[in-house]
Amino acid sequence: MCGIAGIYAYLDVAPPVDRAELRRMNDRMAARGPDGSRQWADASGRVGLAHRRLAIIDLSEGGAQPMQSADGRLTITFNGEIYNYRELRAELQAKGYKFNSESDTEVLLQLYADCGPAMVGRLRGMFAFGLWDGRSRQLLLARDPLGIKPLYWADDGWTLRFASQAKALLAGGAVSREPDPAGIVGFHLLGSVPEPFTVWRGIRALPAGTTMVVDAAGPGVPQRYHDVARALVERGSGAACDPAAARARIAAAVLESVRYHLVADVPVGVFLSAGLDSGALLGCMAQLGARDISALTLSFAEFKGANLDEAPLAAEVAARYGARHVVRTIDRAEFEHDLPAILDAMDLPTIDGINTWFVAKAAHEAGIKVALSGLGADECFGGYPSFVDVPRSVHWLRPFDWMPGVGTLARHGMSAAIAAGAGLHPKTAGLLEYGGSWAGAYLLRRSVYMPWELDELLDPALLQEGMRRLAPLGLIGGELCEGGSLGDFDRVATLETTLYMRNQLLRDADWAGMAHSVEIRVPYVDPFFLAALPPGNSLAATNAKEAVADIPEPPLPPASRNRSKTGFSTPVGRWLSEASGAPTSAIDLSAASRAWALRVWQAGWTGPAAAPVAP
């Protein structure tokens, strides 16, 4: 797990690589790689790569980057981990390839030499990399199938720059800070910025599951090699599966994924909440022979004695599997103290990530470099209310979707009633207008603000351009374009995986974990794992969460199974409410999300000119 950066002056008339700019980009990512920092430039001065190292596999200098092939043709800067690198290495050795290190990075170089850009389909892991081919004079950029690791790029028509963080590109000093209305509107709608947008017009995210080749003509169109909806169709969305067989497949898939995610040359810990998903990971780690496991749990004084307090039940689970339990208590004073650092580390605005910041901080304090997280289980096992709410909305309200204008009229009428104090949630006004389509129903379920509410938050010209370029319903619905034969369960799984999980949860795990030099691994976020699960309708019919609880030996205790779902929560809403002087009872989860969104945005992401108008 590392930070990567690079500059390619692809036009002959472009200035050569500025080594000082590349160093500034790399320095901005210092926390991502405290174990080493290196740069490389080719003899022509047209391409330069940089790397910040967090040593996890092959801790020797043999794993340092940027790394070159033995013949000097290929050079790579790589962020991530390849969990099946040993199998790939053995295959390549059988073909006659020689290795000089024990690192997964060298496997990437040799695999590219063997099969070119198609190599990405062979990789099990999380990754983003830039690979320079000196023979073809091409730069290959690649990102893992589900978007665990980020990769941002900027092109001025002469030179392409890339980095693990958007803010690293800005730190170089050559990339414009001009705001992007599409990214700004996307954040206010969804609480995160949907890829490929950022909040800066000149910076784009390389989409998950794509590669992009940059040559003398500039960057090509990103080429998709993995699509979630298509993968779920190929898994067999409509095929039935016996419940006992389904549970067996779930168990085998989880155990195999955990086994791969334990591949490391340093100890691997786990983020342990009181929920089933992280408890099952700990149980599987112990069952697979992991020893001296550190399990980290957050505790908040405000939750003491309430169901939201994770610590007591997490302690029971940790003891059950022989883990060293580390409980880290956070209070409002520490939150306020850390807030400037949180906003600085936050690469793109988001309404989440606070919990990950503090649990990663606890891991760093405990000397832990790598930790497993239960992130992604709800997306593949149907753990969110959206798996019920969204299909129900679509099936009940679809007739109104076929009646143009009716929904809009209803919204105007209900908005007036809400403004008059009718006691309805603001989203209620959009039920008929949005609830009859998959994209609209999902937007209703996940949005922080709805489109008609943004008039009070953003400059009208910015809002108009942002809505035009973002096209939120098209962006959401486009994720289903390869899934025409998907069932309801897999449709929602596709939406949650490609939107909420990718743009918010995974991105937050990256910036918050890396801010503390902690690698967060997500065994439930793995295309090989998803492909091994039963079909979607079988997951819906099988109590998948109960099946997960039964995987470890011994299984999770009854208290874990019977606890109502709360999520990995923080009392940020209460802290914000107290800071504003409002009564804590007056702020619900939705209001807390809105308050935090405004607080984040007012921190000044793109400069005063792009700051929202106060509501």
| DSSP state at residue 179 | B
**Residue 490 near residue 382, CB atoms below 8 Å:** no
Taking alpha carbons only, the member of 490, 287, 500 closest to residue 381 is 490
Residues composing the chain = 615
Task: Quote the CA–CA distance of 12 and 205 in Å, as a whole number.
Answer: 26
Q: Mind listing the pLDDT tens digit for each residue in 343-358?
A: 999 999 999 999 999 9
Task: Quote the CA–CA distance of 583 and 568 in Å, as a whole number.
Answer: 24
**Residue 518 near residue 360, CB atoms below 8 Å:** yes
Q: Mind listing the pLDDT tens digit for each residue in 303-332?
A: 887 777 889 999 999 999 999 999 999 999
Q: Mind listing the pLDDT tens digit for each residue in 506-551?
A: 999 999 999 999 999 999 999 999 999 998 888 888 888 889 999 9
Looking at residue 608, its pLDDT comes to: 41
Average pLDDT over residues 220-238: 89
Helix, strand or coil, per DSSP, at residue 428:
helix
175-179, 270-274, 480-484: which range is least confident on average? 480-484
